């Protein structure tokens, strides 16, 4: 190989290396973005930890006393057509995330366990008998979308106080029926504006938006808004 051929070979090798690096960067970027979507603003078989610092502003919350008698609800069903991931839910106009789960309403119980003195197993109507919190926060999946809607439900702070959190408890884990779970600092979870939504726009929460229960933490992004909530664990 002549000197000129050697230089040309090295130049060609360098170009190939640069091309492979570019492809690797693209692949790693896609993997990162997919991971963010799967664990950040969706619900999948993922464990995640929320940022310890709230990302948004607090909101105005109205509180109403529960009715003397609860109105019966029409239990929502799974729609025949499920929008694609990040597509628009035609029933609500909200962006679709997660893998919908049809939770059995008759046997549903919200469990609260972990570092508590009183474990809880609350029915859907137990939650409806509590004072109702209503707010219109912005649900944001950072870098992807923002949704604004009015949600109503039971105070998270009240539920945790009912469970009598032990002094060593420092974090709260929300677990969804689809296997997704995420944790946040207990102190932040106890903010009075946080609640567990069972209504959307004054109606029973649809399946695609988390029926029977969805976490609403207005000062955090969508990663914490766990759908199809089954259990809260204090760690």
pLDDT (0 to 100) of residue 162: 99
Q: Are strands 181-185 and 171-176 parallel, antiparallel or unpaired?
A: antiparallel
* DSSP per-residue letters across 99-161: ------TTT--EEEEESBSS-EEE-HHHHHTSPEEEE--EEEETTTEEEE--EEEEEHHHHHH
User: Is the torsion defined by CA of 94, 99, 102, 104 positive or negative?
Assistant: negative
pLDDT (0 to 100) of residue 26: 39
Rounded distance, CA 139 to CA 227, Å?
13
pLDDT (0 to 100) of residue 6: 44
Q: What is the mean pLDDT of the chain?
A: 85
Each domain of the chain, given as residue ranges in start order, spans: 41-234
Q: Please list the ranges in the chain whose pLDDT falls under 50.
A: 3-7, 9-10, 13-14, 16-40, 43-45
What tens digit of pLDDT does each residue of 44-89 get?
446 666 666 666 666 899 999 998 999 999 999 999 999 998 899 9
Model pTM above 0.95: no
Spell out the CATH class of 41-234.
alpha beta
pLDDT (0 to 100) of residue 170: 98
pLDDT (0 to 100) of residue 194: 98
């Amino acid at each position: 190989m002549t000197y000129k051929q050697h230089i040309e070979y090295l130049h060609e090798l360098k170009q190939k290396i640069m091309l492979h690096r570019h492809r690797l960067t693209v692949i790693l970027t896609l993997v990162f973005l997919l991971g963010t979507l799967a664990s950040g603003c969706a619900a999948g078989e993922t464990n995640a930890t929320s940022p310890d610092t709230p990302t948004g502003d607090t909101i105005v919350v109205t509180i109403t006393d529960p009715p003397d008698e609860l109105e019966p609800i029409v239990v929502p069903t799974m729609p025949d057509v499920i929008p694609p991931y990040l597509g628009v839910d035609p029933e609500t106009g909200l962006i679709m995330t997660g893998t919908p789960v049809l939770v059995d309403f008759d046997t549903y119980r919200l469990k609260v366990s972990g570092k508590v003195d009183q474990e809880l197993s609350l029915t859907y109507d137990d939650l409806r008998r509590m004072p109702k919190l209503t707010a219109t926060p912005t649900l944001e999946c950072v870098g992807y979308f923002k949704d604004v809607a009015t949600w109503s439900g039971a105070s998270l702070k009240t539920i945790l106080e009912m469970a009598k959190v032990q002094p060593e408890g420092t974090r709260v884990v929300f677990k969804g029926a689809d296997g997704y779970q995420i944790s946040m600092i207990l102190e932040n979870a106890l903010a009075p504006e946080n609640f567990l939504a069972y209504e959307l726009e004054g109606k029973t929460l649809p399946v695609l938006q988390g029926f029977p229960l969805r976490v609403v933490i207005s000062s955090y992004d969508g990663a914490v808004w766990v759908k199809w909530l089954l259990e809260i664990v204090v760690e």
